[in-house]
Amino acid sequence: MSADLSFDPSIPMAESDTETDEIIYRISHDLRASVRALQELPTWISDDLDQAAIRLPGATARHLELIASHACRLDLMLTGLLEYSRVSRMQPIGAIKPADVLRDVIEDLGFPEEVSITIDMDRGNVQMGLADLQRVFSALLINSVRFHPEGAPKITITGGPCSDKEWRFVFADNGPGIPEDKREFILRPMTKLVSRDVDPGAGMGLAILRKVAWTYGGSVNVSAPKAGTGTIVTVTMRVN
């Protein structure tokens, strides 16, 4: 079985959703300045003490490191919330070519050579925001590589029109897979299957992916291959 989360076009998007995104954006944006200061303060304190030839006790030094670590974690969360609030906003809608966008995203991510990516993408255009399509591709690629425990990641990407108005993108990898009972869970904001000690990310990537799909009247389906390990993510969007 798979998790299939679809957008119902008969239900209009509430105006309050836009207002909520605006609130999230403003709060996250303003808080980041304070969080950056919290990240830097422990270093400033340590530098000042070094100049004064004052050596901190080991426990106190670790406390300063802990402050910086938690501030970094908070900054990642705020960055994820900012990106989440920007979906479908602050960008023009126009004709773009997914094949070219995917190529640019892969180049920008700069994966090591052992990452194998096979692409079969239609050369046609879609009508959507460039930043939103970049978010879709980035979220899926980063998750496939980041959570691949051993061996060389292998990713297969296909995409093309599946109807007069819709395009379908399918990402398949050879990673450890996602338990069936967690496939809906991982698409929620700030959710992860591993501890922060294993991965410091904010758990926003796939939530952003789902929000993009829903914004364009589409769906996200998470499943597993019939044989072997891995994950298949199918994203359908109305972009024509």
pLDDT single digits (tens) 51-93:
988 888 889 889 999 998 889 889 988 988 888 988 988 789 9
pLDDT at 213 over 90: yes
Q: What are phi and psi of 148, to 5 degrees?
A: -95, 105
pLDDT digits (tens, 9 = 90+) for 69-78: 889 889 988 9
Q: Are 106 and 117 in contact (CB under 8 A)?
A: yes
Residue ranges of alpha helices (H) inside the chain are 15-51, 58-86, 98-109, 130-146, 205-215
Average pLDDT over residues 37-59: 89
pLDDT at 12 over 50: no
User: Distances from the Cα of 34 to the Cαs of 26, 28, 29, 31, 72, in angstroms?
Assistant: 13, 10, 10, 5, 12
Percentage, residues of the chain above pLDDT 70: 90
pLDDT at 4 over 90: no
pLDDT band at 198 (very low <50, low <70, confident <90, very high): low
Residue type, 20: T
User: Distances from the Cα of 173 to the Cαs of 150, 159, 194, in angstroms?
Assistant: 13, 15, 18
Q: Are 183 and 2 in contact (CB under 8 A)?
A: yes
Report pLDDT for 236. Answer: 98
Report pLDDT for 18. Answer: 72
Q: What is the DSSP letter of 56?
A: P
Please indicate whether residue 7 or residue 127 has the higher confidence score (pLDDT): 127
Average pLDDT over residues 142-153: 83
Burial category of 50 from C-beta neighbours within 10 Å (exposed 0-12, middle 13-18, buried 19 and up): exposed
The two beta strands, 116-121 and 154-161, are parallel
Q: Are 121 and 159 in contact (CB under 8 A)?
A: yes
Report pLDDT for 3. Answer: 55
User: Distances from the Cα of 161 to the Cαs of 129, 149, 157, 170, 212, in angstroms?
Assistant: 17, 33, 14, 12, 17
Q: Are 133 and 99 in contact (CB under 8 A)?
A: no
Report pLDDT for 14. Answer: 43
pLDDT band at 193 (very low <50, low <70, confident <90, very high): confident
Report pLDDT for 148. Answer: 77
Q: From the centroid of its chain, how far is CA 53?
A: 44
Q: What is the DSSP letter of 161?
A: E
Arch. (CATH architecture) of 93-238: 2-Layer Sandwich (3.30)
Q: Which of 108-112, 163-167, 224-228 has the lowest mean pLDDT?
A: 224-228
62-92 burial code (b ≥16 CB/10 A, e <16): eebeeebeebeebbbbbebbbbbbbbbeeee
pLDDT at 16 over 60: no
Average pLDDT across the chain, whole number: 87
pLDDT band at 109 (very low <50, low <70, confident <90, very high): very high
pLDDT at 8 over 80: no
pLDDT band at 200 (very low <50, low <70, confident <90, very high): low
Average pLDDT over residues 10-27: 63
